[in-house]
Structure 1
Amino acid sequence: MTENSKERLPHLLIKDSVTTESYSRPTQAMGGAGLRTPSRDRQAHSQQLIEQIQHIQSQESGIIEQQKAFGLDVGNGLYLAFESEPDFELKFASLEFHRSGIELCNVKLVDGKTIATVFVPEGKLAHFLTKIAQYQSENTNKNQPKNRELVESISAIKLAAIDALWTDEPELIPDAGQAIWWEVWLRHSERYDCEAFIREHAPQLNLRVSAESIRFLDRTIILVFGTREQISHSIHLLGAIAELRKAKDTADFFTGMSRQDQRAWIEQTLENLTPPPDTAPTVCILDTGINHEHPLLRPVAETTDMHAYIPGWGTDDRNGHGTNMAGVSIYGDLTEALANPLPIQLTHRLESVKITPNPDFHNDKELYGAITRDSIGRVEISADRQRVFCMAVSTTDDRDRGRPSSWSATIDAITSGYEDDQQRLVILSAGNTDPQYRHLYPNNNLTDEVHDPGQSWNALTVGGYTEKVWLDTAANPGWEPLAPPGGLAPASCTSMEWQKTWPIKPDIVMEAGNMATNPAYIQADYIDDALQLLSTGHQFVLGKQLVSFGDTSAAAALAANLAARVQALYPDYWPETIRALLIHSALWTPAMKAVFEPFTTKDKYRQLLRYCGYGVPDEDTLFWSARNELTLVAQDVIHPYTKEGSNVKTRDINLHTLPWPTDVLRNLPPNTQVEMKVTLSYFIEPNPGERGWVNKYRYASHGLRFDVRRPLETLTDFKQRINQKARDEEHAYNGATPDSGQWLLGEKLRSLGSVHSDTWTGQAAELAARGYIAVYPVLGWWKERANLERWGKSTRYALIVSIKTPSVETDIYTAIENQIVIQLTV
């Protein structure tokens, strides 16, 4: 469902929510809510809907005659748009009736109204007349009107126009007379081949159909070129369309241009461009250098911000990889930026350290960590500013198998501020699978492991997925996309074969492009630039200024783009917080989940996490809250340990008293299902020596965990339970009754690494009683190795809590915002 009316509200940063408790030794999801419908006058409402359908019936014969005159003898029928009242739900699932061929095509949210578009075959309007007549005059055994929820949820019934089938952003629909490529989603029919049907009849409407198509179980997608008027006419004549979208512009459109044509598109984009302020955060690319005089990079890059690990290398990019990274880190996929005629406000700037002349050239292995550390130090000395570091250089072997290396441990030290108490956000690519085995997708991804230093606990490690599945089959006959839409990218490495105790990697996945396969060839190939992203070319003076780019390098650059935009929007957020938000906002696509369904055990979720991390960040959730979906952000400090005599002991438990929408949640209808997501993020100091990483030789300096008060648990009981749990990570507490509701991952699975994220689902009344979250320490080498005298250190953490209610009319945002204002006033 497209939620075009979602209000964008800033996340709520809460302060002074913590009560620090000294550690002391202590002496199933319910059923869903019913549909909420507007108050209706039974007779008047039913009569109004009957008259609307009768009016449609009076037009049906004329439309069907047009279809038959056009030469169609199958698929005749009408498209109807069923609307709800603003801010009320529509029982759209009940609109479909397969026995009569009535099919629900799409559902979307526009200006608070739910609109469902339904295809109704010739002569089947009587189905809805019967439903409404039963509501008007018949009762159920419980003395309720028959079909009450369905009929009362409907506000109006109309003949659908093109807007009802358009499911893309409203502003993308073309103007009158403007011809574009449309992404046409076709219904599935038992009686005829909808794709062949469209291809046969499209020429009569002067529509051009692309050669390629994508088939799903109940949808086929094709590209059709034509005007809005031509498509509008076709939906009345061709009853095979389920929805319409604007076709995605792909990299091949631009890479196939001449250098002069590319320049024209770049100049148009530059005219719409507003550079970021000098004080904006930066993305620092650790790579092969950057040719920053590229026209698209010049507004965000200065010569003084270009560096090299070895000055003799120069700061320029002779390979191309660094300049490719730069373009994506600033603009995202340039295909979208160039094709968008709207103004572009850039939010961050660009820095570079050339750490290698060539991504295939490797310095002495033992120096990888040192090169990274010294390169970061070099850029920080030159300027004091907020920045995100991004590196897609990695080793190609996988012998670490998730275990810490000198390189990954150095990154953990850099990010944690081990040497200088300055925390940093470092984004790494997960590394790429071996190209010669990618035709074995996805099995090859399962065994090709995240490359060093991607196993770093503190870094945000980024794998790849893809939505790029279009290629020119006329120019490349016999070739098909290798990965399905929403699936893991062919290049993305995983941690499937790592030990169960190692952190989840990758953390998230971003677009990494696709490849194609052909039965006539063994290996997969980058056969078409449409399967890749678009970025800035390093040979822009004499060669192409725009080039294709992909794999997990592009994915890491996209993640850096998101992170820098979050930093620009919320300048008070810590690196730990930005990492937490990117993970907290991530969702798994259906294609990712399909690999491991059904999720009958927690181990299935473990496999999913090791395959693609927490999924793809949702930008709306990442940047904004809404009235009924809000995000609370807490940044705080805890002292995990203290020393008494010669013994180091657990010291503090932080109890967060959150501003909680208690009254709003309690006033929701009984059994209303709500969702709470909690993410805890902190940076550990490493202990990389391979000595089993248990007891005193643990890798992590400390661990933190979160727990939420249970609905029937008193605050005193909650504190006692947390005290018990804080004793020791190895001694699970079993004295309390199981938590109500459902944690998706569960305590054991979510506790890996240094970022912990889980989602609870349950009744609103239960959530109303949960406004306390404890953050507490577990074992680490700070405690076990007292001689190193790190036991007295404090550690920062970010706690992200989101609440989501099903109805857009539920305003939990204002209820919490008012509490925060009152606290600040006091």
Structure 2
Amino acid sequence: MPPTNKPFPHLPLILRYDGPARSGKPPHGDPRTRLAKENRSGHGGGLTNSAANASAAWRLRFEDRERANLPVLPKNVPLVLEVDTSLDLDELRKNFGFELVSEQEDGYVIVASEDLDLSLFLKKLQDFIAQVKGSATVAAIYRLEDDPDQSKRLSRILSERLLSEWPTLAENGDYIVDVGIACSGQIQIPPQPGAPKRNHRWSDMTWAKRQGEHATKMKDWTEQRNAAYMAWQDLADARYNEVSAIVNFYGGSILSQSDKPHTDTALADSFTLRIRLNGKGLRDLVLNYSFIFEVVEPDDVSLPQVLREAVARDKESVTLVPPPPNAPAVCVVDSGLQHEHYLLEPAVDRDAAFCFLPGASPTDVADYVRPGGHGTRVAGAILYGESIPRSGSYELACWLQNARVLDAECRLPDRLFPPALLNELIRRFHEGPRRTRIFNHSITASAACRTRHMSAWAAEIDQLSHLHDVLFVVSSGNLYSSGTAAIPGVRQHLVAGRTHPDYLCEAACRVANPAQSLQALTVGSISYREFEDPDWLSCARQAHHPSAFSRSGLGIWNTIKPEVVEFGGDNLVSRNTPPDVGTPPCGRECYPELVRSTMHSPGPAYERDVAGTSFAAPKVSRIAAHLQDVLPDESCLLYRALIVQSARWPGWTRNATPAEQGNIIRWIGYGVPDIERASSNTEHRTTLVTSGDRTIKARGCHIYQVPIDAEIRRPGSDYDVLVEVTLSYSAEPRRTRRNRRRYLSTWLDWKSSNQGEPLEAFRRRAIKTETEDEGAGAPFAWVVGSSANHGTVRGVSRSAGTVQKDWAIVKSNALPEDFCIAVVGHEGWSKDPDSAATYTLAVSVEMVGKEIPIYERLRVSVDNLRAEVEVETEVEAEIEALG
């Protein structure tokens, strides 16, 4: 890795405004709400009939269960409602006593009522008809679905595969499924009392009194919060026991459980169980337990492209220097490592190695995957990147920690439940002696991720990343060389007449679970080169095109996934008809050079003999480890921002049309990252970053200023300047919600000043959170844009994810004196006024043609601005003190 003594370190971003954002005009409400209020009798009467029918049907269902001596269940009624999308869903709890089970698309929600008679709901309906005050929320409920066979509910909670199999579910069949159980109940943590601010006129006695009153309020609040925790745990225990009773009745078993931890201001909304159950029991559970929001089958883990062995190669003459004791550690979550391999051994943290496989010894940490291992190859890519050292001395830059979770067949056992496993990884490695913060996760499912809810696996990555400031680097997943009708491989796409790389836009080629995680840094793969001989040719017809097997975006909720790509190789296609797809030895220059396990049979210590996104991801983990080395006190959010900030599209994309660019960003995200651009600068490129944890509440606005030196903006100059901006943030997730704005407690986006727009004018525009005013001056021609129709790339928005990059080319003489970026907070699922997101921001300015050096000029301008801001702050403090 590059040395850490860089002459051009990143510069600080200067915060110029920290205050509230002002909402613009409220969005137009759904006209159906207005029409309902104008026709109270018709609207209320229709809902009354639907509610009465649902109540009667469920009463008969429970009576039938009792006569059949089936396990006793709480007499709750699940309902599928269509509601106004602007409705605060907590109103369903407050007004009707409904517990939100899950939020669906297009305004649909699944709720559960503890009252079999729906008495409160029916009373509110009558109040609405009679125009009684406090009943207006009824107008925002458009429909209560008539669902006697529960087909509508089932279509919203079962996976596609289970839904198709449901009519023919074998009563005695053996099924393993992951079941999501909503568990919010009617329990709420009250708002936390705000800390008092001292008035300069208060005496010490008055201030002490205010502090004492606040301490009393905090004590009462803490007791109420702890009581809410206990009530939630009682509810979770009760629901676990209810599910367990059904599972045990049918001779099944609960294999694993995953709970989401509470925070100071919010309770967990769900837990997930992995269960083994026969078909009859599964049908009973799903149809009759009201609090289920998701039932999916466990994912099969995708394997890399397998190749033949190469001829053995003698150990090279190279001296490997172990990492320094305090060097960063990367946890390799994989199939184990060959600890004794001479290319890995100096960097392996043997004491930390652990096997998580059920039934295996914790010390059985070797890589048994034939012929040349999987985790061993991944670990080598973390250490060496693109090429293995042949001779001389090589200093290893990070420690490798071995978390063996895949068996000898490179599969994740059904008994190893990913959310529970991830928590164990955090406990053992992040909370261990090295405080590991980077986790390489080259494990994904074999099929495209589901888009109904964030999966339990991906949501756990989001939760743990937010709570512990860790970074999961996840591969986007592989298409098999040849697959099935349900999961088509490369061969099936080609035979169907779909060409490469266009077929990567097919839904079946979407990133695989858990690569859709919003907090994970997802990595796809690109090819090295074009290849052709009399028998084979590469799928990629140009160098650096997307790999044939690399799963692509968009991700869940149209997020940009993968965010970056690295070199993972390519498939070759035979010239016969129909074609074969494989990785024959003749194309070895198309595959990455990787360390290779020598445990099983004679073979080389390293070789070009496999390909896959599994081997692209560790090259990004390598960059993350280097960033931790040079910026040890910064957050993983900044590491992620700098990696994405450093990424560039390859040269073949240069002349793409806007429509083609829309496909490119799906295939390769923001492009190929660069370790030098991520960690340092040059005379002609400068990156400015926020430092430390920055938090922002909903309806908050932070404005940062980048002063542009007059020489750079000189009127006579006409140079191309590349401006790049990346926002990286995290917030509390909630898995029962079904879009980005409800999935996160607080969500963020950013906007920029225009060319020639003064700071104060931009501040006034930036704090209007709901408007898209152009403002003074010409806007920057951002490539992606803040919405799907704003950038030059069509159909994609940078604001959909939690890492948001954009870039633009600007003429140097058109740059503003002060370029400003506003980070704006928006309300998500949390109604707590103190709910906040944590973020980092990076801004880069680069003289594309290197006509004039800019680093020193920008550094001096930043120092001058910082001094100016410090003086302004001192003056403001003096004025406030004077009253």
- Give the 3 Å change call, closer, same or farther, for CA 296–460 of structure 1 in structure 2: same
C-alpha separation between the residues in 1 aligned to 2:641 and 2:530?
A: 30
Q: Give 1:797's match in structure 2, choosing from 839, 853, 864.
A: 839
Q: Tell me whether 1:712 sits opposite 2:767 in the alignment.
A: no
Structure 1 residue identity aligned to 2:474: L
Q: How many residues align?
A: 549
Structure 2 residue identity aligned to 1:747: S
**Cα deviations by residue, 1:687-709 (Å, 9 ceiling, x for unpaired):** 111x54377xx112222122222
Q: Tell me whether 1:526 sits opposite 2:576 in the alignment.
A: no
Shift of 1:740: 3.1
Structure 2 residue identity aligned to 1:385: R
Structure 1 residue identity aligned to 2:784: L
**Cα deviations by residue, 1:608-667 (Å, 9 ceiling, x for unpaired):** 2112111111343223311121111213555543xxxxxxxx442112133x23222223
Shift of 1:368: 1.6
User: Which position in structure 2 is the counterpart of 1:571?
Assistant: 632
**Cα deviations by residue, 1:240-261 (Å, 9 ceiling, x for unpaired):** xxxxxxxxxxx99x97443xx4
C-alpha separation between the residues in 2 aligned to 1:456 and 1:275?
A: 34
CA contact (8 A) 1:504 1:610 kept: yes
Q: Give 2:825's match in structure 1, choosing from 768, 777, 781.
A: 777
Structure 2 residue identity aligned to 1:523: D
Gaps spanning 5+ residues in structure 1: where?
Answer: 1-6, 28-250, 642-649
- Give the 3 Å change call, closer, same or farther, for CA 24–401 of structure 1 in structure 2: closer
Q: Tell me whether 1:505 sits opposite 2:529 in the alignment.
A: no
Shift of 1:537: 2.4
C-alpha separation between the residues in 2 aligned to 1:13 and 1:358?
A: 48
User: Which position in structure 1 is the counterpart of 2:490?
Assistant: 438
Q: Give 2:512's match in structure 1, choosing from 440, 444, 451.
A: 451
Question: What pairs up with 1:393-412 in 2 under 5 angstroms?
Answer: 393-398=443-448, 400-401=450-451, 403-412=453-462
Shift of 1:280: 0.5
C-alpha separation between the residues in 1 aligned to 2:705 and 2:779?
A: 20
User: Which position in structure 1 is the counterpart of 2:623?
Assistant: 562
Shift of 1:458: 0.6
**Cα deviations by residue, 1:116-148 (Å, 9 ceiling, x for unpaired):** xxxxxxxxxxxxxxxxxxxxxxxxxxxxxxxxx
C-alpha separation between the residues in 2 aligned to 1:345 and 1:822?
A: 40
C-alpha separation between the residues in 1 aligned to 2:471 and 2:846?
A: 28
CA contact (8 A) 2:350 2:401 kept: no
Shift of 1:386: 4.7
C-alpha separation between the residues in 2 aligned to 1:402 and 1:279?
A: 43
Shift of 1:593: 6.1
Shift of 1:492: 0.1
User: Which position in structure 2 is the counterpart of 1:23?
Assistant: 21
Shift of 1:479: 1.6
Three-state SS of the structure 2 residue aligned to 1:663 is coil
User: Which position in structure 1 is the counterpart of 2:345?
Assistant: 298
Q: Give 1:324's match in structure 2, choosing from 351, 356, 377.
A: 377
Three-state SS of the structure 1 residue aligned to 2:376 is helix
User: Which position in structure 2 is the counterpart of 1:538?
Assistant: 597
C-alpha separation between the residues in 2 aligned to 1:613 and 1:26?
A: 32
Q: Give 2:552's match in structure 1, choosing from 483, 488, 494.
A: 494
C-alpha separation between the residues in 2 aligned to 1:593 and 1:403?
A: 36
- Give the 3 Å change call, closer, same or farther, for CA 433–653 of structure 1 in structure 2: same
Shift of 1:670: 3.8
C-alpha separation between the residues in 2 aligned to 1:506 and 1:279?
A: 31
Shift of 1:389: 0.4
Three-state SS of the structure 1 residue aligned to 2:682 is coil
Structure 2 residue identity aligned to 1:777: G
User: Which position in structure 1 is the counterpart of 2:705?
Assistant: 657
Q: Tell me whether 1:462 sits opposite 2:523 in the alignment.
A: yes
- Give the 3 Å change call, closer, same or farther, for CA 823–675 of structure 1 in structure 2: closer
CA contact (8 A) 2:754 2:776 kept: no
User: Which position in structure 1 is the counterpart of 2:810?
Assistant: 762
Q: Tell me whether 1:815 sits opposite 2:854 in the alignment.
A: no
**Cα deviations by residue, 1:768-821 (Å, 9 ceiling, x for unpaired):** 323322111123112xxx3xx4x4244321111111124435222112223455
User: Which position in structure 2 is the counterpart of 1:351?
Assistant: 401
Q: Tell me whether 1:312 sits opposite 2:361 in the alignment.
A: yes
Q: Tell me whether 1:481 sits opposite 2:534 in the alignment.
A: no
**Cα deviations by residue, 1:78-134 (Å, 9 ceiling, x for unpaired):** xxxxxxxxxxxxxxxxxxxxxxxxxxxxxxxxxxxxxxxxxxxxxxxxxxxxxxxxx
CA contact (8 A) 2:755 2:780 kept: no
Shift of 1:559: 1.2
C-alpha separation between the residues in 1 aligned to 2:600 and 2:417?
A: 34
- Give the 3 Å change call, closer, same or farther, for CA 780–669 of structure 1 in structure 2: same
Task: Provide the alpha-carbon RMSD of the alignment.
Answer: 3.0
Shift of 1:592: 5.1
CA contact (8 A) 2:716 2:813 kept: no
Question: What pairs up with 1:96-111 in 2 under 5 angstroms?
Answer: none
User: Which position in structure 2 is the counterpart of 1:132?
Assistant: none
Q: Give 1:427's match in structure 2, choosing from 457, 473, 479.
A: 473
C-alpha separation between the residues in 2 aligned to 1:493 and 1:274?
A: 36
User: Which position in structure 2 is the counterpart of 1:747?
Assistant: 786
- Give the 3 Å change call, closer, same or farther, for CA 735–516 of structure 1 in structure 2: closer
- Give the 3 Å change call, closer, same or farther, for CA 21–337 of structure 1 in structure 2: same
Three-state SS of the structure 2 residue aligned to 1:382 is coil
Question: What pairs up with 1:176-195 in 2 under 5 angstroms?
Answer: none
C-alpha separation between the residues in 2 aligned to 1:796 and 1:576?
A: 9
CA contact (8 A) 2:323 2:347 kept: yes
TM-score relative to the length of structure 2: 0.58
Q: Tell me whether 1:586 sits opposite 2:647 in the alignment.
A: yes
- Give the 3 Å change call, closer, same or farther, for CA 23–10 of structure 1 in structure 2: same
- Give the 3 Å change call, closer, same or farther, for CA 19–573 of structure 1 in structure 2: same
Three-state SS of the structure 2 residue aligned to 1:743 is coil
CA contact (8 A) 1:402 1:495 kept: no
Three-state SS of the structure 1 residue aligned to 2:818 is coil
- Give the 3 Å change call, closer, same or farther, for CA 667–713 of structure 1 in structure 2: closer
**Cα deviations by residue, 1:541-594 (Å, 9 ceiling, x for unpaired):** 853222433200001111111221222233233211111111111111244567
Structure 1 residue identity aligned to 2:809: T
User: Which position in structure 2 is the counterpart of 1:81?
Assistant: none
**Cα deviations by residue, 1:23-75 (Å, 9 ceiling, x for unpaired):** 34689xxxxxxxxxxxxxxxxxxxxxxxxxxxxxxxxxxxxxxxxxxxxxxxx
CA contact (8 A) 1:509 1:616 kept: yes
- Give the 3 Å change call, closer, same or farther, for CA 593–663 of structure 1 in structure 2: closer
Shift of 1:286: 0.5
C-alpha separation between the residues in 2 aligned to 1:356 and 1:766?
A: 55
**Cα deviations by residue, 1:730-771 (Å, 9 ceiling, x for unpaired):** x44346367434111222122111111111222323323233
C-alpha separation between the residues in 2 aligned to 1:669 and 1:738?
A: 20
CA contact (8 A) 1:433 1:445 kept: no
Gaps spanning 5+ residues in structure 2: where?
Answer: 26-304, 483-488, 495-499, 788-796, 871-883
Structure 2 residue identity aligned to 1:338: P
CA contact (8 A) 2:696 2:838 kept: no
Q: Give 1:416's match in structure 2, choosing from 463, 466, 470.
A: 466
C-alpha separation between the residues in 2 aligned to 1:631 and 1:760?
A: 15
**Cα deviations by residue, 1:344-398 (Å, 9 ceiling, x for unpaired):** 3321111111122246433338922211221232122332335310111111122
User: Which position in structure 2 is the counterpart of 1:626?
Assistant: 682
TM-score relative to the length of structure 1: 0.62
CA contact (8 A) 2:689 2:843 kept: yes
CA contact (8 A) 1:285 1:322 kept: yes
Structure 2 residue identity aligned to 1:705: D
Shift of 1:524: 1.0
- Give the 3 Å change call, closer, same or farther, for CA 338–744 of structure 1 in structure 2: same
Q: Percent of pairs identical after alignment? A: 23
